[in-house]
Amino acid sequence: MIRRILFLGLLFILSDTVFGQEAERMTGPVIKDFGPVFRVENPDFKTDTTKTYKVVFDIYNSPEDPTKINSSINTLARFLNMHAGAGVPVEQLHIAGVVHNKATHDVLDNVGYKAKYGVDNPNLPLLVALEVAGVDLYICGQSISARGVNRAEIHESVGVGLSAMTIILSLKDDGYQLIKF
């Protein structure tokens, strides 16, 4: 019985060493400090590098901890890095994010965020990196009013629309595909 337990223990250790190696997350190639992804070698479903990808992300949740970046916003950087890393030219990647609901405060400038949470907005470097990379961010005008946000406190890289519904519908009419979390 003890031999069996020792054998199983050794097998478990060896399998963890041989098979349990974690893949390394990589940053870039477009946004260096955000959106880390894993390389997938020889996927069965091949990424079409000749296709133009037009996607709109529905961003409505926010982390409980105001010192953490919004992972849904970070997903825009992940999408960009992942596809560019897979060989899709950046000019063929059209990415938009529509912020509303709980995520509304995550796109405030630092003054507004600090007034609300007492800490600097951890999303600001990400918002700037997305803007530099050509990603479009919009915020729902209805959420601004419903959440008592002063429009002047919205970060300058974020455009305001009538509603998240209107922005998403309009982008879908322009050929964007919706990715909802």
pLDDT digits over 88-117, tens only? 999 999 999 999 999 999 999 999 999 999
What's this model's pTM, rounded to 2 decimal places? 0.86
CATH number of the domain to which 38 belongs: 3.40.1260.10
Q: Which residue has the higher pLDDT, 9 or 28?
A: 28
Helix axes 124-132, 71-85, angle to 10 degrees: 30
* Residue 101 to residue 90: CA distance in whole angstroms: 30
* Residue 159 to residue 49: CA distance in whole angstroms: 30
Task: Give the domain range for residue 166.
Answer: 23-180
In a domain, 14, yes or no: no
The whole-number pLDDT of residue 104 equals: 98
**pLDDT tens digits, one per residue of 135-176:** 999 999 999 999 999 999 999 999 999 999 999 999 999 999
**pLDDT tens digits, one per residue of 78-87:** 999 999 999 9
| Residue type for position 33 | D
